[in-house]
Amino acid sequence: MEFFSEVWNFFFRFMLNSLLFLYDSLGRNFALSIVIFTILARLLTLPTTIKQQKNSQRMQELQPEVQRLQKKYKDDPQKLQEELSKIGYSGMMLSGCLPMLIQLPIWIWLYQSIVQALSNNPIQLLNLSKNIYSAFSHLVPLNPYFLGLDLALSPQQSGNLLGYTLVILVVATMWLQQRMMTPPSSDPQTAQMNQTMQVTMPLMFGFISLQFASGLALYFVVSNIVGIVVQYFMSGRGTLFQREPEKGGMEEKAAMPVKTGPAETVVEKGKKRGKKKKRRR
């Protein structure tokens, strides 16, 4: 456990001091440092992001087959699992989670670095002293201001309009990213879950942004924008302008997937025929 803690702290300290290095190099502009730092971290995790997306696309392509098997073995879950394993679907579920497990610590270190660098009370600064490299001690306390907004304070504490604007941007960009990332699903249950996630996640992060330092909101916004750009180059606008499938009807209509380009992953055949002209991008 102690070894795990030491490894964790090593990487956290490295991230924190990299952020401070950027701050020192970029004219001591902390907002700019967060922007560049977040972009660099997203680029660092780009290979795993791409792998995750490709995996997700492949899973969508297998959906009709999965649904067929689900119907066929609806009374025999064990056999269903076996068949899903045979076509590689179960393995994909697990390998889809792996990139997320790699990315998660990086996001936590990044987040903790921003929070600790923005220390503005004595107890927080005392903790910072344990993690800062001596070469960066002269930077303390950091200048937390960006266009008059104190990034160390929450929007509620600062009462700054820009702080609240950042919160709105967090919600908007996260919704946009979720909408582009979520593949269309012919399974009503999955579609329902996707729809719920698309609403609750942005609202939850909006709430967090309202409560915590505005520097964190800036990090969320930049991270989301990078995510949107990456997503666009990988699969276009995704389901951004697609309507959610109607409850109940889609399962019956599900047929073979039709790939028409990077933006359109899988579209049900029946739906495609009816809306062929409207769907042209």
* Closest to 169 measured CA to CA, from 135, 232, 217: 217
Q: Is 266 in the site for other proteins (CB under 8 A)?
A: no
* Ramachandran assignment for 187, one of left (phi > 0), alpha (psi -120 to 50 degrees), beta (any other): beta
Q: Considering beta carbons, is residue 33 or 185 the nearer one to other proteins?
A: 185
Region 89-118 residues binding other proteins, contact defined as CB under 8 A: 93, 97, 100, 104, 107-108, 111-112, 115
Residues with Cβ within 8 Å of 197's Cβ and at least 6 positions away in sequence, in order, are: 178, 182
Tokens of 226: 């990078």
> Residue 114 in contact with residue 19, Cβ under 8 Å?
yes
Q: Token pair 């997306």 is at which residue?
A: 53
CB of 120 to other proteins, least distance (A): 8
Binding mask 117-156 toward other proteins (x if CB under 8 A, else -) reads: ----xxx-xx--xx---x--xx-xx------------x--
Tokens of 233: 């180059």
- How many residues lie near other proteins (CB under 8 A)? 39
Among 40, 50, 80, 240, binds other proteins (CB under 8 A): 80
Check whether the bond before 245 is cis (ω within 30° of 0): no
Q: Is 9 in the site for other proteins (CB under 8 A)?
A: no
Q: Which residues bind other proteins (CB under 8 A)?
A: 63, 66, 70, 80, 84, 93, 97, 100, 104, 107-108, 111-112, 115, 121-123, 125-126, 129-130, 134, 137-138, 140-141, 154, 185, 187, 189-190, 193, 197, 204, 208, 211-213, 216
